[in-house]
Amino acid sequence: MFTLLNIAQPESLQDAYKIVTAKKSNAILGGCTYLRMGSQTIHTGVDLAKLGLHYIKEHDTFIELGAMATLRDIETNAALNKYFNGLLPKAVRSIIGIQFRNSATVGASVFSRYGFSDFITALLALDTEVELYKGGRMALAEFLDTPRSKDILTKVIIHKTNRTASYQALRNSASDYPILTVAVSHNAGDWNIAVGARPTRAKLAVQAAALLAGAGADVTPAILEQAAQMAAAELPFGANMRASAEYRCAMCKTLVKRAIAEVAACK
């Protein structure tokens, strides 16, 4: 459990940024779902509740997810269930339980870059950007590779392309942390293959995706097998209490193959 010495509820992003950067031990308070699992002292917790960031907005060419929208909002939103074969709702559905998903926020889930995040894996397979108060807008893949710094993630932008998508995850039990996560999407010859819980943060299998793009419309069983093998070979895997690196690598081939086959069948 964390200890909170002070709390601030700023009414502008500028004030929120000033407070969170004023002291090293100051921190943004999202849903506090993972924060409460640790043991730390926070000098000033910054609550973003008054900044109007709890929303999901559908526009003509993109969907905006406000930083304070919850994972339960993602799960039940009509637009997100409609697009990308319901990829995002499917990805968050197995995260702990409904009470937890009612608290966990989009901003905290993405900004914290958790390796076990189902949500990040799914977002990475789409055409996704993040917007930071200080850092501005950038592709999600770029954000995940940037060094950590104090900033405020204000929104996630998902471009409404005609991507068909599949989400696969391996767990010991239905609501457990994932052993491995895979999201695959396709649009007009362009493929994305994201693999997460390796156990480090999700990453794109670029070479495997390029192989599929070069194969054109005909994804044969041989190409499918080769792409799965290539994805497992190009990404690093590690070990933790849930699985060994070797097991994750072996399961990566299976889940990637399954996801590609599902997407190919939808084309």
The model's pLDDT over 220-240, given as tens digits with 9 standing for 90+, comes to 899 999 999 999 999 999 999
Angstrom distance (rounded) from CA 42 to CA 46: 10
Classify residue 164: in a domain, yes or no: no
Yes or no: say if 263 and 185 are a contact pair by the CB < 8 Å rule: yes
Q: 129 φ, ψ to 5°? A: -125, 155
The verdict on 154 and 60 lying in the same domain is: yes
Residue where a domain terminates, one of 111, 129, 159 = 159
pLDDT digits (tens, 9 = 90+) for 136-161: 999 999 999 999 889 999 999 999 99
> Do 76 and 154 share a domain, yes or no?
yes
**Count of domains for the chain:** 3
Same domain assignment for residues 34 and 114: no
Based on the domain organization, do 45 and 60 belong to the same domain?
A: no
What's the pLDDT at 28? 84
Q: Are residues 111 and 16 in the same domain?
A: no
The contacts of residue 255 (CB under 8 Å, 6+ apart) are 168, 169, 170, 180, 182, 195
Confidence of residue 3 (pLDDT cuts 50, 70, 90): confident
Helix, coil or strand: residue 161:
coil
User: Does 196 share its domain with 243?
Assistant: yes
Whether the Cβ atoms of residue 116 and residue 243 lie closer than 8 Å to each other: no
Parent domain of 42: 3-49
Structure tokens at 126: 């789409």
In this structure, the answer to whether residues 155 and 193 fall within a common structural domain is no
Q: pLDDT at position 2, please?
A: 67
Asked, for residue 80, whether it belongs to a domain, the answer is: yes
Q: Are 112 and 155 found together in one domain?
A: yes
Query: What's 257's domain CATH number?
Result: 3.30.390.50
User: Both 140 and 62 in a single domain?
Assistant: yes
In order, the DSSP letters of 170-233 are EESSTTSPEEEEEEEEEETTEEEEEEE-SSS--EE-HHHHHHHHHHTT---HHHHHHHHHHHHH
Q: What token pair was written down for 244? A: 């060994």
Based on the fold, state whether residues 38 and 60 are members of the same structural domain: no
- Indicate if 33 and 64 belong to the same structural domain: no
- Summarised one tens digit per residue, pLDDT across range 26-44 is 888 876 666 666 667 878 8
Q: How far apart are CA 55 and CA 77, in angstroms?
A: 10
Residue 89: give its domain's CATH number. 3.30.465.10
Give me the pLDDT at residue 174, please: 80
Q: Which segment of 32-36, 134-138, 194-198, 210-214 scores lowest on mean pLDDT?
A: 32-36
Tell me, yes or no, whether 173 lies in a domain: no
pLDDT, tens only, 80-129: 999 999 999 999 998 888 888 888 899 999 999 988 999 999 999 999 99
Give yes or no: residues 143 and 228 share one domain: no
pLDDT at 31: 66
Task: Decide if 232 is inside a domain.
Answer: yes
